[in-house]
Amino acid sequence: MTRLLIIGAPGSGKGTQGATLASDYGIPAIATGDIFRHHIKTETELGQQVKAIVDAGNYVPDSLTNEIVKDRLLEDDALDGFILDGYPRTPDQVTYLDELLASGGQSLDAVIQLKADTDEVVERLRKRAIEQGRLDDSEEAIRHRQDVFARETAPLVAVYRDRGLLIEVDGLGQIADVKKRITASLAERGVARPESATA
């Protein structure tokens, strides 16, 4: 019964660590971007709404994002825990998630923030863009996304820090090393992996 949220700037390794944690703790990794893409690909009613909004160059509104996340959290595999990635992103989404979890007598166990030096992350993303042939992904564009992320997530980080839920972890280095830091920090808070909890 582990309920986590992972926060990290683009290029911080958030997706990689989220997937690893999901495997280790036996919970699904729930990334809103993946959910949106799934709904669009399978042409569900929600997917058609999201596609129309995105195609118009607009952001998916909180109300629709909340609905999609609620549907996902009510699926069987998420009833005993999950790790959220990319949600919540606004104070209103934080409130919605609080109320949704509280309605089932639940709450988040911890919020993991992957910290990474901006210059190093920019260099990592720039290298990846070149390797993947995305030559329009300039350093300026990458830095802009980093700035936007920092500005948008600052209020959320403050909320979870005030609640005593925030775990700050150095996200740079080898994947295995970052994973060890996260696992150790969670264990300190009493959030143990299933096998260690039963050992």
The catalytic residues are 14, 89, 128, 134, 145
Q: Phi, psi (5° rounding) for residue 60?
A: -70, 125
**Residue 136's CB: how many other CB atoms inside 10 A?**
7
The strand pairing partners of 168, in sequence order, are: 113
For tokens 């709904």, the residue is 39
- Whole-angstrom distance, CA of residue 65 vs CA of residue 101: 16
Burial of 39 (0-12, 13-18, 19+ CB in 10 A): buried
For tokens 């893409």, the residue is 37
Quick one: tokens of 174?
């080898």
